[in-house]
Amino acid sequence: MVQHIAYLDCRAGVSGHTLLGALLDAGFALDDLRRALASVPVQGYQLKLNAYQEQDVRGSLFDVMLTTADQPVRHLSDVAAVLQASRLSARVQATSLAIFRRIAEAEAVVHRTSVDAVRFPKIGVLDMLISIVGVVSAVEALEITQLYASELPLTTGHISTAQGLVPVPTPATLELLRHTVASWKPTSVEGELVTPTGAAILAELARFESPAIAIERVGYGFGRKKLPWPDCVRLYLGHPHVAVVDETPATVEADTDRVAVIESHIDNMSGELLGALMEHLLSAGALDVSYTPLQMKKNRPATLLTVICMPEDGERLALVVLRESSTLGVRIQHVQRLKAWRSQELIETPLGALLVKIKRLGSRIVSASPEYEDCQRLARERDLPLAEVYEVAQRTIQATILDTQ
C-alpha cells in the first residue's frame, strides 16, 4: 500500500467545500464520495462538481445543493448516532465525530454553555456533515498518512448570522484554532476566508508545518469569492523525503516503517479503569500504550491516551478504545517511524552467559545493553545485587563488543 502525505496551501482561505474540492481534483473519485455519503442515513441534498478556472488556474468547484430545508435540529449526540448508523469505516466514523466534537466544544466556549447543549443549525449541519465525512473519506481513500497546512489569512470585517453581525474570523473559528500552532498572516481583504468547518478539519487532521515532500499530484479546490487572487485551496499530494544523516564520513542509515497512532482525551475515568484499558490494548496487539496528564477547558484535569500499533491494527484498536473507555471519539494518524537496527547477541561474562541488545545505525554500533531478565536470573543464581550484575555485564560488553568496532 502506497502511503502519501499532503500539504495544503490555505493562504487564500479554507472551507469544507474547498478542501473537498481540492481532494477531488487531486484524485479522489466523485463516485467514491457518493458511495461513502450514501451509507450515511441523511437525505435532502445533491452533489455538484464542475471544472473551474480563475486567472489561468484550473481546478474543481465542489458544491452541495440542499433540496429540502426540513432538516432536524441536531446535537452532538445526534451526529454521533447518524455516524454510528452509517456503513463508513471505523476510522472515518471516529475522525468525523472528533471534528464535530471540536466544533461543539468551540461553540460551547463562545456561547458559554455545555457541549451537550450546543445545537447545530438545521441546514448548516447537513452541509457540515457532507464536507467533513467527504474530506475524511478522501484522506482514507488517497492513503494520506499526514496532512500539513500553510499559514492562514487574517481578514477583517463582519458577516451576517442568525445572531446578527459577527466579526471575522468568527469567534468559533478562532476558538477552534487557538489551541494549535496555526500561523495567521494579516491581509487587507474583508470577509470570511476561513470557515469554522475548514478550521475544525485542520485542527483535527493537520500540522501547521512545511514538510519535505516529493510532489506527485496537485489539486485545486475553488470557492466563489472575488479576491485579488484565485479563491482556492491548493493541495500537494506526494510522499515524504526520508532524511539521510552523514556522520564522519560514513552514512548512517535507519530502518523505517509505518505505524498508526491513536489518541484521545479522557476526563472521566478512574485510575483502575484506565489501567484495565491499557492491559486490554496491549494484549490486543498494541505496540505501546501511554497516558499523559493534561489540563482541558474549565481547568479540568484529564488524560491523553496514546496508542501505537501497526497500521492494519489501527481501526480495530480504535474500536477497543471507543468500547472500553468513556471517550466519544479518537484520532488516528498513520505516520512514518525511523528505527535503529536491533539485534541480540549471547556473550560470556564472569558471572555466566547473558543476552545483549545491540543498537546499530548502518554498520556502526551505537550502544549495547544487557537484557534485564538475564541479569535478574544471574543475580538470583549468584545471590548478588542486581546492580553488581549490571556492572559486570557492562564491563564485558565494553570489552567484547564496543571496543572492538
The letter for the amino acid at 188 is S
**341-404: which CATH number, 3.40.50, 3.10.20, 3.90.1200, 2.30.29?**
3.10.20
**Model's pTM, two decimal places?**
0.64
So where are the chain's domains?
4-240, 250-339, 341-404
CATH number of this structure's domain 250-339, picked from the four choices 3.30.70.2190, 1.10.357.10, 3.30.70.1380, 3.40.50.2000: 3.30.70.1380
Q: What is the pLDDT of residue 401?
A: 86
- Average pLDDT of each block of 10 consecutive residues along the chain (405 residues)? 84 97 98 97 95 96 89 89 93 91 94 93 88 97 92 94 87 92 91 97 92 93 95 94 46 70 92 94 92 84 93 91 92 86 83 88 83 91 94 92 77
pLDDT at 246: 47
Spatial distance between the Cα atoms of 184 and 390, rounded to a whole number of angstroms: 53
The yes-or-no answer to whether 250-339 and 341-404 have a common fold is: no
pLDDT for res 240: 78
Q: What are phi and psi of 84, to 5 degrees?
A: -70, -25
Q: Which of 14, 39, 34, 11 is nearest to 24 (CA)?
A: 34
**pLDDT score of 241:** 64
Crossing angle of helices 271-283 and 314-324, in 10° steps, is: 150
pLDDT score at 242: 54
- The pLDDT of residue 68 is 82
Alpha-carbon distance 22 to 236, whole Å? Answer: 9
Per-residue pLDDT, 405: 67
